[in-house]
Amino acid sequence: MATDLAFPSGGYTLRPAGKAKLNGLLPTLTGLGPNDKVVVYGYTDDRPVGAALKKRGIIDNLDLSSRRADAVVRYLTSKGVNPSAISSKGRGDTHPAAPNDNAKDRAQNRRIEVVVEQPAG
């Protein structure tokens, strides 16, 4: 999910459009087996965080991506996803989906991924 849809620019509070998109995942996430795990990964582009974010205590992209992933986890657990089966991980500007050469590609890198991990076997 593109973080521009889910969060305001430079923010980590979920927008209504982001909540609506996450609501589409709820049937799957609330119906997982007892050994299944969900990891919410947050990513950013490679642009440094601005002064406004630094004033709010966000020191870098890793911190911003972590707060966004945490916000998604809080929302999903508030909607019934088992809190012991879900976790968050900020990855900042690592693992880009596209080069950070232009606005379109940077937008692809600002994303949240919700991954279901099922036990082997």
The CATH number assigned to the domain holding 77 equals 3.30.1330.60
Residue 71 zone, left/alpha/beta (φ > 0; ψ -120 to 50; rest): alpha
Q: How confident is the model at residue 93 (pLDDT cuts 50, 70, 90)?
A: very high
Specify the number of domains making up the chain. 1
Radius of gyration of the chain from its Cα atoms, rounded to whole angstroms: 15
Total number of residues shown for the chain: 121
Q: Which domain holds residue 7?
A: 3-117
Cα–Cα distances (Å) from 50 to 28, 56, 82, in that order, read 36, 10, 35
pTM of the full structure? 0.92
pLDDT above 80 (res 121): no
